[in-house]
Structure 1
Amino acid sequence: MKISVIISTYNAEAWLEKVLWGYNQQTFNEFELVIADDGSRETTRQLVSKIQAEVNFPIQYIWHEDNGFQKSTILNKAITACKSDYILMSDGDCIPRKDFVEMHMKYRKPGHFISGGYYMLPMNISELIKKDDIISQRCFDIDWLLSHGLKKSFKNNKLSSKGFKAHLLNAVTPTKASWNGHNSSGWKADILAVNGFDERMQYGGQDRELGERLMNLGIKGIQKRYSAICIHLDHKRGYKTEDSIAKNRAIRKTTKEGKIIYTPYGIKKEVEI
């Protein structure tokens, strides 16, 4: 396989099923899917087993017992399990457009990582999307979305821009390229060089901190937020706490100010957490 796609999940079978059908529509299909499951119930494993027999790509299912929000830990296990030398990371609540993997493959480049974009949908449309809407790609059609209550916004260009317009918007956007857990890709060797995710970090910027260490290593970000697109399904965030956000913010501050490249709290455990 030319690329390994990691998606994270936790007790969200309805959303995960939609995401898996999204990957079954990809124009580039020489990929494996590695599901990083942060301790979901047995029904998630059953869903993955069922879908595995119906889709056209291989699936690795990486699971550990539920011990609170330990996404960084399960992602590190998934990184280690990846069989390709290039890794794309997204989430189990992000349906990929049919050219999603193709765009990451097209623009990948040594010494760089790709920062893609997402479009956040409201809950009513997230629930409305069915398998047929994913197969037909209606769920990415701006007119279809507007007809179901989506509000008009400049952000709609993420879904409607193609070719030169997408290239132009990628170039002029004031948003800097960053490693985003919902849509970023890079070389496995580079991710291993910074020792993966810092497992001290829970919700709130652990993906950005990984990207900041990659940039400290000299890896540059490529902005493709109008080319590599997924739609983000709405959900509650009960794991979001002020304590975890404050803790992660402090770790990121140290990473940036100290130009830190390598975390001893990552894939290779050199310091006890």
Structure 2
Amino acid sequence: MKDISIIISTYNSEAYLELVLYGYNYQTLNNFEVVIADDGSRASTKELIENFKKIAKYPIKHVWHEDNGFQKSQILNKAIVNCSCDYIIMSDGDCIPRKDFVETHHHHKEDGYFLSGGYFMLPMSISKIITKESIEKGECFDLKWLKSKGLKSSFKNNKLNSKGSKAKLLNSITPTKATWNGHNASGWKKDILTVNGFDERMQYGGQDRELGERLVNLGLKSKQIRYSAVVIHLDHPRGYKTKESINKNLKIRENTRNSKVIKTPFGIEKL
């Protein structure tokens, strides 16, 4: 029996998904399963997953539904139901985990809390040159290697080279709130089920934050681990991002906060 379920969302992005799956092959803690939340990808994604199962060091479940536009909330809810472990990490099919990613979430998990991680966005020019080999060697998390490929200096680079007391300090002083971030967050399945998962009215723009706001309304606290649990985010176009979707979601989130909503009627169970 595995200890942790990792949900990875994807849609028609086989090249990036394969790199992400390799990232989980090199983890220092291997007692997990991966549940792929597939928002209606073409057959080639299924083929990739079936082939990768032959070399994966962890079990993989592929949860898929018909393509009906951006319906990430729906497929994530189906993935949650399919998780066999008590604890769930959520990330995306364009976020490659550093080798200590799962171990870090496992170390910090605590009843009554959810964990809030961040990401390090790579520019498109570097995203395109990441390979299985650069993941296996850890080069794509190494600042010296990344700068040799054109990465510019920035305070955000601390996300890649902060460990131990430095990471703890930066986690404590960052002005960024410890929210539920779909690319890097984790919590107990029982808590996610209690708030009824994601609100399926919500498409792109803050549906992950809204889930976290309901977890807070439930009484949970959040821990900031953005400088400890590291994923690199591969860049890509976002054609599904619309002003209408974001505005609709902002109204739902406002109601969640003002009315202290805990259990959405539009989630895993339709109430």
TM above 0.5, yes or no, is: yes
Q: 1:31-46 counterparts in 2 under 5 A?
A: 31-46=32-47
Which segments of 5 or more consecutive residues in structure 1 lack a partner in the other structure? Answer: none
Unaligned runs of 5+ in 2: none
Residue 266 of structure 1: how far off its partner (Å): 0.1
Partner of 1:234: 235
- Runs of 4+ residues deviating >4 angstroms: none
Please give the secondary structure, in 2, of the residue aligned with 1:146.
helix
1:176 Cα deviation after fit: 1.0
Alignment of 1:14-33 (within 5 A): 14-33=15-34
Q: Please give the alpha-carbon distance, in whole angstroms, between the structure 2 residues aligned to 1:179 and 1:214.
A: 9
1:35-65 Cα distance to aligned partner (Å, 9 max, x none): 0000000000000001110110000000000
**Structure-2 separation of matches of 1:227 and 1:245:** 29
Q: Residue in 2 aligned with 1:113?
A: 114
Q: Which amino acid aligns with 2:106?
A: M
2:146 corresponding residue in structure 1: 145
Matches of 2:118 and 2:149, distance apart in 1:
22
Aligned counterpart, 1:61: 62
Distance in structure 2 (CA, Å) of the matches to 1:224 and 1:68? 32
Q: Which residue of 1 aligns with 2:132?
A: 131
The answer to whether residue 252 in structure 2 is matched with residue 256 in structure 1 is no
Letter in 2 for 1:139: C
CA distance in 2, matches of 1:162, 1:227: 6
Name the SS of the counterpart of 1:231 in structure 2.
strand
TM-score (norm: length of structure 1): 0.98
Q: CA RMSD in A?
A: 0.4
Output the amino acid matched with 1:211. Answer: G
Cα distance in 2 between the residues matched to 1:256 and 1:171: 24
What TM-score comes out, normalization by structure 2 length? 0.99
Matched, 1:5 2:6: yes
Aligned position for 1:87: 88
SS in 1 for 2:66: coil
CA distance in 2, matches of 1:158, 1:22: 17
Identity of aligned pairs, percent? Answer: 66
Cα separation, 2, equivalents of 1:266 and 1:55: 31
2:72 maps to 1:71: yes
